[in-house]
Amino acid sequence: MTHPLAILSQRETNIARDIVRESHPGTVIDFREIFLNEPPKAELVEFLAIEHAGRLTPTTPRPPRRALCQYDVIGEDRIPQFHESIVDVVSRRRVKHTVVGKQHHASLTLSEFDVLVDRCMNSPLFQSALADFRLPDGFEVVIEPWPYGGLDETEENRRYFQGLCFARDTRSGNADTNFYSYPLPLIPVMDAHTQEIIRVDRPATGGKGDGLTEQTFKTDIIGHCKPSEYVPELLPEGTRKDLKPLNVLQPEGPSFKVTDESLVEWQRWRFRVAFNPREGATIHDVWYDGRSVMYRLAVSEMTVPYADPRPPFHRKQAFDFGDGGGGNMANNLSLGCDCLGVIKYFDAVITQADGSAQKLPNAICLHEQDNGIGWKHSNWRTGRAVVTRQRELVIQFIITLANYEYIFAYKFDQAGGITVESRATGILNVVNIDSGKASEYGNVVSGGVLAQNHQHIFCVRMDPAVDGVNNSVMVEESHPVPMNVTTNPHGNLYRVIKKTVDQATFMDADPKINRTIKMVNPHKLNPISGNPVGYKFIPMATQLLLADSRSVQARRAQFAQHHVWVTKHRDDELYAGGRYTLQSQKEVDGVADAVRRGDSVSDTDVVVWCTFGITHNPRVEDWPVMPVEIMQLTIRPADFFVANPAIDVPSSRNVSSQLVDSTCCREARI
Amino acid sequence: MTHPLAILSQRETNIARDIVRESHPGTVIDFREIFLNEPPKAELVEFLAIEHAGRLTPTTPRPPRRALCQYDVIGEDRIPQFHESIVDVVSRRRVKHTVVGKQHHASLTLSEFDVLVDRCMNSPLFQSALADFRLPDGFEVVIEPWPYGGLDETEENRRYFQGLCFARDTRSGNADTNFYSYPLPLIPVMDAHTQEIIRVDRPATGGKGDGLTEQTFKTDIIGHCKPSEYVPELLPEGTRKDLKPLNVLQPEGPSFKVTDESLVEWQRWRFRVAFNPREGATIHDVWYDGRSVMYRLAVSEMTVPYADPRPPFHRKQAFDFGDGGGGNMANNLSLGCDCLGVIKYFDAVITQADGSAQKLPNAICLHEQDNGIGWKHSNWRTGRAVVTRQRELVIQFIITLANYEYIFAYKFDQAGGITVESRATGILNVVNIDSGKASEYGNVVSGGVLAQNHQHIFCVRMDPAVDGVNNSVMVEESHPVPMNVTTNPHGNLYRVIKKTVDQATFMDADPKINRTIKMVNPHKLNPISGNPVGYKFIPMATQLLLADSRSVQARRAQFAQHHVWVTKHRDDELYAGGRYTLQSQKEVDGVADAVRRGDSVSDTDVVVWCTFGITHNPRVEDWPVMPVEIMQLTIRPADFFVANPAIDVPSSRNVSSQLVDSTCCREARI
């Protein structure tokens, strides 16, 4: 039988589509998403308890199997109305129906992007703006559709999209020439309901000393731009020849086991992998050696605000999970490219505009990797060294959002730790800058190409279940103590202060006092230390959102303004930046609102959110494709176990490793 | 001919020994170190310029080849006197001789440790203290020799050592039973010159509420302790059986080349690897694609202060590089254990007490590893994905300091980055705590075993040579800008402020403004961005030294009190914590003193030091051997190149990667 956490199958998705259609006779339905509405936690926890007790039978009551359906209903007035329905795909009944208020916009779909491109190309307004420029022969215009960003206060809240424009050199006949190196200072804006290009914004192309809106461009707009290719066959000197293969071989196969489609077992870990169009891969029901650790773990949201103050660049602010869906944008991964070794791929299901399920093959990959030494000790008395390697299990997915890519990974290790990793790569979003100018808003990374300063701010949502659902959050800090005769006669003491968080709150990283967040079970004490069993993380002291708190950018992204948020669990409260981020004017029902409820969070079903990010003032080295910028949130056991859980990892010598031979090391002394 | 940066050979070392002996007739010489006195920078730079220009000939003038010799001279008065000589091993002449002041102590040697153990065992004072306890049959006393730490102000500055005491269960006949799980509350103190046990300190074993010096122990001192073994054959349940092999194979060999004993070439990088008994592996003369990047890179010092205020625990403060020598303590590395793949080992030379050179085999390992995706971009229009993997070249050495180990690695990547990594592992230093008690000074990690709170603070010294010796340091910060009509109408602007450091100084990490340190060549501008070419790092916002600034711990470790230090280069100024740390009362001639000179550091030969660390409040999971705690300092190019230097890395599919088969994934859908 289907597990309650299994992603909706194509069959189930199509059932939901049919029910929605039947519920809205006489209308056209534009589907956006159909995906699993995860069971209410209370019901799922009950089911999981039976499952873990090994008492599941065919008659065990199961949580309902429901689809969350997001769609536009287009009636006779031709104005799309955004609806949400929850459909029970077993009983084939609609169990909930909401007409979402007009202040919110449904997430974007790629078909809207296609419409934008089409309408631009056919828009006299756009063509007339384009006529201000003279493109060299063989160059064609490329429109990069983008969400509109935050509305200005004076604007009517209609559904808009903007296009960032570039020119592509078609002369080589290669469809993958890099158009980002030829930016055009045109930003067409489309009203998505009327599908009309209503305006073409004309961003400035000036540099230091030029005004915010001053038009300084030349007709020969890309005459000072240069090719900057990244596909191997277009590199002037090809690829380097001196990199020898490095192969990862697992002759006895992997150490993991995947059963029941989503259940992963590896080195005493046991958890479920799921996927949804918004968050991409999610991790559920994490246990270690028969004890529960985490109910749910996911990357919840991210925002990328740009810092160029020249309008309309203030509208460049993506919410890459809420706007278009991190899952929708997931890459189809390839064997031997995105990871090495023995790899298990998971497929996903996404929704087409007509509501039909479409398989997204290889959306997630699962593999093991070696992460260097795990632990080592040498007894200098006897000369005996015991050294183990640290093996990790990696669940990875990669999303492409127009120019950028993000590689997300959940990594489980043998010492009971879980790391959430994000790697930012892809191509910088860039704009045109006049020849010879420099800018205080970014860096010139190629001729005529300004890469604007921006931030990438991520939020990871942790729903801990440390030996059970009811947990508390403790803040542990290490404080200096002034030298004094009574308690600190030699001045070396520092004091560890632990406090339980009583009420929903936010807080910031504070490395000066080594602020550490512990998710503990207050009812279960470690038999050795007497401390409550827990898992901990140190929030990374990275720069928070820089935009002025009164700005639309900041109002939309409150989650990006503090490093740690502690809330009480509510079903469906999964998204740090709120449920509807596309073109939002402020964060609604996001993590800040959840905190404002002021729930008691001690010894209850608590949720912890961790925000971290990169302030990305581009380097020339980030062009044309940037080397990965890696961020890691590491969650480690803290008195959860009675010893290092990796102590029994075998320390056997890897017999396939080799000494170098003399061909690479003349005069080698080994 | 021997390269000026090659480590002293055994032959050269023995020449230096002979010259020193001849210089002190009629005395006994106790040798501590003989190692390469690196050539004066001015001379070496000149030589390297000729080398890089390909103009070296047999007659090219070479910098002198000199040995730094540290030794005690024991004359008729039997009181050892600490001397340093510099010996030219080519001309066989002593070129410098210094009698080091009595306020300083030479670094410790393992033979002193042997003496301490021997004297304890034969000391009536120690035996009498030991008689207060009743050890079970089959247990023997183990003395763990330690540096004495900082002197109390009332103490005479003689050369002392302290012993931390444990009991070892000999009943299994296995010499590697873990004695750390049976701590004894005895700390014998030896005067190293008289070789007498002058005192046995009796640390408290109490818990919360007990006084700092209150004696509360029972005669049955380890009755409440338990075995906690880590060698595989002593694990009650053996090692786990479900970990399948993961092999790294390089069928065409490695991509690196090592010639001239120390010259490494790999993926356009070219540098020298050296080794000395103090810093371990050091990196020199780093070039990328014909351009110089760094003159010298090394881990300069580290300190591990403990925070238990009960005397004499305030004396637990190690300087692991200065006290005993990170190089002296380097492990002999083993194929297939300390790294995977094709490995090149470098041997080192250390000095025996009689001054003879001893080969330390396999002190450094060099290998390549895969670090996941290097860069990726998918063109969603065409579906074409280009993905490259990030290969790294790793130079690794591992040191064992009694209970702890540190794994240090210099990692070079294909995108022009250099990462200095430290992994802390090994066994916690622990003390006895009465049965059933908890402590505010640490965590009980095993029965009767208190692991005290402590910090590990590292300092990396970077001597940049960004396109030449004369560089400047720029501090780049990203500051919020209040919303205003003129410059920030929508509130999204943040301002990047860059300032050149004029005068030697220190500063701290400041993530609120994303403080970034750039080492630049002010005379060479990037042709694309117009910025000076440079390398940058973000100092990690980790907790600095917590001890009160008036404490001996803090006075000895000024380098541990700020994250970044900028100084002007001086020959031989290599050690952040000063040249002589053993039993120091304050940092002398360390990085803080170098800053106090107030040198101008702009457009000159500047040196940058980065301090970072871990506040380690132990977890039960850190016992009996702690899983690695990883810290990384990443130094990346910042407008040094004209594009991503890894853009030409081949994106070929790894043909040895495999799909999982059905044996591990029932019902797999792939």
Q: Do B259 and A374 touch (CB under 8 A)?
A: no
pLDDT at A305 over 50: yes
- Tell me what pLDDT residue B377 has: 96
Is A220 in contact with A134 (CB distance < 8 Å)? yes
What does the H/E/C string look like for B604-625? ECEEEEEEEEEEECCCHHHCCC
Digit-coded pLDDT (tens) for B601-632: 999 999 999 999 999 999 999 999 999 999 99
For residue A253, with 0-12 CB atoms within 10 Å meaning exposed, 13-18 middle and 19 or more buried, which class applies?
middle
* Phi–psi pair at A546, nearest 5 degrees: -90, -20
Q: Which helix (H) or strand (E) holds A592?
A: helix A591-596
Q: Do B368 and A246 touch (CB under 8 A)?
A: yes
In a domain, B252, yes or no: no
Q: Do A377 and B491 touch (CB under 8 A)?
A: no
Residue ranges making up the domain that contains B616 = 257-306+317-428+453-638
pLDDT at A402 over 50: yes
Amino acid type, B56: L
pLDDT at B662 over 70: no
- Tell me what pLDDT residue B374 has: 97
- Tell me what pLDDT residue A663 has: 60
Q: Do A528 and B446 touch (CB under 8 A)?
A: yes
Number of domains in chain B: 3
pLDDT band, residue A664 (cuts 50/70/90): low
Inter-CA distances, A198 with A103, A155, B412, Å? 20, 13, 51
Q: Do B338 and A254 touch (CB under 8 A)?
A: no
Q: Which residue has the tokens 């050892």?
A: B80
- Mean pLDDT of all residues in B652-662: 81
Inter-CA distances, B582 with A470, B161, B428, B646, Å? 50, 10, 21, 45
Tokens coding A285: 């029901």
- Mean pLDDT of all residues in A430-453: 98
pLDDT at B71 over 50: yes
Rounded CA-CA distance A202/A215 in Å is 8
Digit-coded pLDDT (tens) for B440-460: 999 999 999 999 999 999 999
Tokens coding B351: 């000095």
Same domain, B53 and B171: no
pLDDT at A669 over 70: no
Q: Do B490 and A309 touch (CB under 8 A)?
A: yes
Q: Do A620 and B528 touch (CB under 8 A)?
A: yes
Q: Do B250 and A245 touch (CB under 8 A)?
A: yes
DSSP string, B525-544: E-TTT-SEEEEEE-------
Q: Mind telling me how many Å the CA of A569 is from chain B's nearest CA?
A: 28
Digit-coded pLDDT (tens) for A345-382: 999 999 998 999 999 999 999 999 999 999 999 999 99
In a domain, B560, yes or no: yes
Digit-coded pLDDT (tens) for A543-567: 999 999 999 999 999 999 999 999 9
3-state secondary structure of B272: strand
pLDDT above 70 covers a percentage of chain A that reads 99
Q: Do B624 and A637 touch (CB under 8 A)?
A: no
Q: Which residues on chain B are in Cβ contact (under 8 Å) with A660?
A: 253-254, 258, 342-344
pLDDT band, residue A655 (cuts 50/70/90): confident
pLDDT at A386 over 60: yes
Q: Mind telling me how many Å the CA of B455 is from chain A's nearest CA?
A: 10
pLDDT at B336 over 80: no
Among chain A residues, the shortest Cα distance to B417 is held by: A627
- Tell me what pLDDT residue A670 has: 31
Same domain, B588 and B624: yes
Digit-coded pLDDT (tens) for B157-171: 999 999 999 999 999
Residue B153 sits in a domain whose CATH number is 3.10.450.40
Q: Which residues on chain B are in Cβ contact (under 8 Å) with A387?
A: 334, 337-338
pLDDT at B664 over 70: no
Q: Mind telling me how many Å the CA of B577 is from chain A's nearest CA?
A: 18
Is B301 in contact with B107 (CB distance < 8 Å)? no
Q: Do A240 and B619 touch (CB under 8 A)?
A: no
DSSP string, B468-536: SS-BEEEEEEEEE---BTTTBTTS--EEEEEEE--B-EEE---GGGT-EEEEEEEEEE-TTT-SEEEEE
What does the H/E/C string look like for B188-237? EEEECCCCEEEEEECCCCCCCCCCCCCCCCCCCCCCCCCCCCCCHHHCCC
In a domain, A31, yes or no: yes
pLDDT at A44 over 80: yes
Give the mutation candidate from B492, B526, B666 for the A interface (greatest A CB count, under 10 A).
B492
Q: If we measure between CA atoms, which residue out of B558, B341, B349 comes closest to residue B459?
A: B558
- DSSP annotation of A40 reads P
Digit-coded pLDDT (tens) for B5-27: 999 999 999 999 999 999 999 99
Rounded CA-CA distance A538/A632 in Å is 11
Phi and psi based region of residue B374 (left: phi greater than 0; alpha: psi -120 to 50; beta: remaining): alpha
Instruction: State the maximum Cα–Cα separation within chain B, in Å, rounded to a whole number.
Output: 87
Q: Which residues on chain A are in Cβ contact (under 8 Å) with B546?
A: 478-480, 494
- DSSP annotation of B132 reads T
In a domain, B183, yes or no: yes
Phi and psi based region of residue A556 (left: phi greater than 0; alpha: psi -120 to 50; beta: remaining): alpha
Same domain, B79 and B169: no
Q: Which of A160, A180, A295, A404 is catalytic?
A: A404
Same domain, B91 and B131: no
pLDDT band, residue B663 (cuts 50/70/90): low
- Tell me what pLDDT residue A652 has: 80
Rounded CA-CA distance B428/A633 in Å is 24
pLDDT band, residue A334 (cuts 50/70/90): confident
Rounded CA-CA distance A185/A306 in Å is 16
Chain centroid offset of residue B524 CA: 33
Q: Which residues on chain A are in Cβ contact (under 8 Å) with B440?
A: 495-496
Q: Which residue has the tokens 């054959």?
A: B233
Phi and psi based region of residue B149 (left: phi greater than 0; alpha: psi -120 to 50; beta: remaining): left
3-state secondary structure of B43: helix
- Tell me what pLDDT residue B665 has: 59
3-state secondary structure of A476: strand
Digit-coded pLDDT (tens) for B273-301: 999 999 999 999 999 999 999 999 999 99
Q: Which value, in Å, is the radius of gyration of the alpha carbons in chain B?
A: 27
- Cite the active site residues of B: 320, 404
pLDDT band, residue B653 (cuts 50/70/90): confident
- Mean pLDDT of all residues in B473-488: 98
Same domain, B470 and B576: yes
Instruction: Determine which of A181-190, A365-374, A603-612, B72-81 has the lowest per-residue pLDDT on average.
Output: B72-81
Same domain, A181 and A160: yes
- Tell me what pLDDT residue B654 has: 84
Please give the interface size between A and B, counted as residue pairs whose CB atoms are below 8 Å apart: 600
The number of CA neighbours under 13 Å toward the Cβ of B93 is 4
pLDDT band, residue B338 (cuts 50/70/90): confident
* Phi–psi pair at B12, nearest 5 degrees: -65, -40
Q: Mind telling me how many Å the CA of B662 is from chain A's nearest CA?
A: 9
Instruction: Please name the residues in contact with A66: beta carbons below 8 A apart, sequence gap of 6 or more.
Output: A36, A37, A39, A86, A87, A88, A89, A95
pLDDT at B668 over 80: no
Is B279 in contact with B321 (CB distance < 8 Å)? yes
DSSP string, B320-350: TTTTS-TTTTB----TTTS--SEEEEEEEEE
- Tell me what pLDDT residue A89 has: 98
Instruction: Please name the residues in contact with A40: beta carbons below 8 A apart, sequence gap of 6 or more.
Output: A63, A571
In a domain, B645, yes or no: no
Q: Do B373 and A483 touch (CB under 8 A)?
A: no
- Tell me what pLDDT residue A662 has: 63
Tokens coding B361: 């085999």
Q: Of A99, A132, A165, which residue constitutes the final position of a domain?
A: A99
* Phi–psi pair at A108, nearest 5 degrees: -75, 160
- Tell me what pLDDT residue B335 has: 80
Q: Of B176, B200, B234, which residue constitutes the final position of a domain?
A: B234
Rounded CA-CA distance A480/B141 in Å is 36
In a domain, B56, yes or no: yes
Q: Of A183, A217, A234, which residue constitutes the final position of a domain?
A: A234
* Phi–psi pair at B21, nearest 5 degrees: -60, -45
Same domain, B227 and B286: no
- Average pLDDT of chain B to the nearest whole number: 95
pLDDT at B501 over 80: yes
In a domain, B118, yes or no: yes
What does the H/E/C string look like for A47-88? HHHHHHCCCCCCCCCCCCCEEEEEEEEECCCCCEEEEEEEEE
Same domain, A144 and A81: no
Rounded CA-CA distance B595/A511 in Å is 25
- Tell me what pLDDT residue A659 has: 86
Q: Which helix (H) or strand (E) holds B446?
A: strand B442-446
In a domain, A636, yes or no: no
Q: Mind telling me how many Å the CA of A46 is from chain B's nearest CA?
A: 26
User: What are the CB-based long-range contacts (under 8 Å, 24+) for B660-666?
Assistant: B660/A253, B660/A254, B660/A258, B660/A342, B660/A343, B660/A344, B661/A253, B663/A253, B664/A253, B664/A254, B664/A256, B664/A257, B664/A258, B664/A344, B665/A257, B665/A258, B665/A259, B665/A344, B666/A258, B666/A259
Rounded CA-CA distance B348/A419 in Å is 37
pLDDT above 70 covers a percentage of chain B that reads 99
Q: Mind telling me how many Å the CA of B23 is from chain A's nearest CA?
A: 33
Amino acid type, A165: C
Amino acid type, A4: P
Q: Which residues on chain A are in Cβ contact (under 8 Å) with B514?
A: 543, 615
Nearest CB to B667: which of A260, A341, A370? A260
Same domain, B269 and B216: no
Same domain, B507 and B634: yes
Q: Which residues on chain B are in Cβ contact (under 8 Å) with A347?
A: 669-670
Amino acid type, B80: P
Q: If we measure between CA atoms, which residue out of B8, B71, B376 comes closest to residue A624?
A: B376
Q: Do B626 and A644 touch (CB under 8 A)?
A: yes
Strand partners, A534: A520, A638
Give the mutation candidate from A181, A394, A620, A662 for the B interface (greatest B CB count, under 10 A).
A620
Report pTM: 0.97
Among chain B residues, the shortest Cα distance to A670 is held by: B345
Tokens coding A466: 């440390």
Same domain, B46 and B133: no
Nearest CB to B314: which of A212, A490, A647? A490
Instruction: Please name the residues in contact with B234: beta carbons below 8 A apart, sequence gap of 6 or more.
Output: B172, B174, B176, B177, B178, B227
Rounded CA-CA distance B181/B226 in Å is 7
- Tell me what pLDDT residue A258 has: 96
Q: If we measure between CA atoms, which residue out of A31, A120, A14 comes closest to residue A73?
A: A31
- Mean pLDDT of all residues in A118-124: 96
Same domain, B15 and B125: no
pLDDT at A143 over 50: yes
Length of chain B counted residue by residue:
670
Instruction: Determine which of A109-113, A293-297, A417-421, B607-611 has the lowest per-residue pLDDT on average.
Output: A109-113
- Average pLDDT of chain A to the nearest whole number: 95
A320 counts as catalytic: yes
Amino acid type, A540: M
Checking ipTM against 0.90, whether it exceeds it is yes
For residue A140, with 0-12 CB atoms within 10 Å meaning exposed, 13-18 middle and 19 or more buried, which class applies?
exposed
Give the mutation candidate from B401, B621, B640 for the A interface (greatest A CB count, under 10 A).
B621
